[in-house]
Amino acid sequence: MINHHPPLELLQDYAAGALTEGLALCIAAHVSLCRECAAQVGRLEAVGGALLEQIPPVEVGDDLLATVLARLDEPAAPVTAAGRFDDETRTVVPEPLRRYLGRSLRDLPWQAVGRMFHEFQLPLASRGMKVSLMRLRAGSEMPQHSHCGNEYAVVLAGGYRDADDIFGPGDFMAKGPADKHQPVVDADGDCICLVVLDAPLKFTGLAGLLVNPFLRF
Amino acid sequence: MELIAVGPAQTRPGVQMHAATKGLRPYRAHAVGSLTNEQLCQLVSAIAVQRDRQAFAALFRYFAPRLKGFGLRRGVEAAAAEELVQETMLTVWRKADMFDPARATVSTWIFTIVRNKRIDMFRREGFPDADLEEAAETQSDDRPADDHLCAAEAGMAVRTAMKTLPTEQLEILQKAFFEEKSHQAIADETKLPLGTVKSRIRLALARLRAALPEGHA
């Protein structure tokens, strides 16, 4: 049961194609797991379609149709194989995100960050954002931290508790610069999240002093 | 409501499109030259099943000038806008068999193609496109799984309702969908407070949603 959804603004920015790739990926991952938000995005895309149909037409060059007709038999660019994935990855990682991984979760070059989590930074073209998969160790308490910018996350497997909120697979989280939080990972298994940061994290507590030097941005 | 005509004068190569489109008031639907969704579906089906080039040409004549208008609204040169038209229409040809008339109207489908192409061409980023259909089907909660059916019907209702939107709401939706602007970017550009941008978009979407047939809202 998914309880935490992106706000309408983010769904609409996603449908309009106005989000940077990292954040769009977060929304795509949530939308792939959440039927309500998928339906909402479908409606928003219908708004895009209706607007497109009503846009004032602008004449195209006389030969444009001929040019396109001549190109119809061109072979399409080969679709790059998304990679082969094991069952765990196919179950846990929604399709739009899988394409960015290229291999199964267990084969990713995870980097240990302190003792509480492993991280794999996704290769993304857009700059100024860090997009990672994080594997948080079962039962660990993350140091309390705040953010210089915004943090967005989608839980893919396992879960955590943050104050009174419980997060499980599919749940979406957004935190702004003013928010401090301290997730406590469920004891019964690791928690895998997709995390997008548009500025570095700042760990605020004492334990943070130990982790901060390990955080690359 | 006055129609804003965009004449051929603005499509000459070298004309600064930014300047040409700046200051235009939002337009209203052009009644002339409009095809019903049913007619458009028949064209796409003829392309998918018979690889019918005449059907493709008819679809091109209808959408190419709209797609060019869409490209220009982002502020690119006419040549780049025509390149976008080409790439979009080639994808329509190649993926016609993937179009499902129960899921979306033809304009909504083509909007998602041009949105993704635009990001690909002008931002050199990918668009993580969520498979809305898959999301609708893989959910295991207790709601019936048919709420995505006849999404096309919903798309047509949106199209009709769009005509009743107040100008300020229509304008802001056009900015969002045509100019690839996030809520924040629109607020920065229009110097409206972010809250005002949010509420105008929310009001517009609520109004469109109210027009949806039962089961879609």
Pick from B94, B112, B208: which is nearest to A76 by CB? B94
Return the beta strands (E) in chain B as ranges.
none
Tell me the chain A residues in contact with residue B187 when contact means C-beta distances shorter than 8 Å: none
Q: What is the pLDDT of residues A171-194, one digit of tens each?
A: 999 988 888 888 899 999 999 999
* Nearest to A129, CA basis, from A152, A113, A95: A152
pLDDT at A204: 54
Beta A191-197 vs A151-157: how paired, if at all?
A: antiparallel
Burial (Cβ within 10 Å: 0-12, 13-18, ≥19) of residue B53: middle
Q: What is the pLDDT of residues B55-96, one digit of tens each?
A: 999 999 999 999 999 999 988 899 999 999 999 999 999 999
Average per-residue pLDDT in chain A? 87
- Contacts made by residues B181-186, CB under 8 angstroms, sequence distance 24+: B181/A16, B181/A18, B182/A13, B182/A18, B182/A19, B183/A9, B183/A12, B183/A13, B185/A18
Tell me the chain B residues in contact with residue A39 when contact means C-beta distances shorter than 8 Å: 132, 136, 147-148, 216
pLDDT at A105: 95
B64 and A65 within 8 Å at the Cβ level: the answer is: yes
B104 and A49 within 8 Å at the Cβ level: the answer is: yes
**What is the average per-residue pLDDT within A160-166?**
92
Tell me the chain B residues in contact with residue A32 when contact means C-beta distances shorter than 8 Å: 130-131, 134-135
pLDDT at A199: 61
pLDDT at A142: 83
CATH 3.10.105.10 for domain A87-214, yes or no, is: no
pLDDT at B23: 41
pLDDT at B130: 83
Of the ranges A63-77, B37-51, B203-217, which one carries the lowest mean pLDDT score?
B203-217
pLDDT at B12: 36
Under CATH, to which class is A8-61 assigned? mainly alpha
Q: Does A177 touch chain B (CB under 8 A)?
A: no
The yes-or-no verdict on residue B141 having pLDDT over 90 is: no
pLDDT classification of A126: cutoffs 50, 70, 90: low
Q: Which residues contact A214 (CB under 8 A, 6 or more apart)?
A: A113, A114
Tell me the chain A residues in contact with residue B143 when contact means C-beta distances shorter than 8 Å: 35
Q: Which residue has the higher pLDDT, B31 or B207?
A: B207
The yes-or-no verdict on residue B29 having pLDDT over 90 is: no
What residues 17-76 of chain A have any CB closer than 8 A to a CB of chain B? 17-21, 24-25, 27-29, 31-35, 37-39, 41-61, 64-65, 67-69, 71-72, 74, 76
pLDDT classification of B216: cutoffs 50, 70, 90: low
**What is the average per-residue pLDDT within A48-58?**
93
* Domains of chain A, residue spans: 8-61, 87-214
What residues 6-25 of chain A have any CB closer than 8 A to a CB of chain B? 8-9, 12-13, 15-21, 24-25
The yes-or-no verdict on residue B33 having pLDDT over 70 is: no
Tell me the chain A residues in contact with residue B203 when contact means C-beta distances shorter than 8 Å: none
The yes-or-no verdict on residue A20 having pLDDT over 50 is: yes
Q: Does A101 touch chain B (CB under 8 A)?
A: no
pLDDT at A172: 97
A17 and B118 within 8 Å at the Cβ level: the answer is: yes
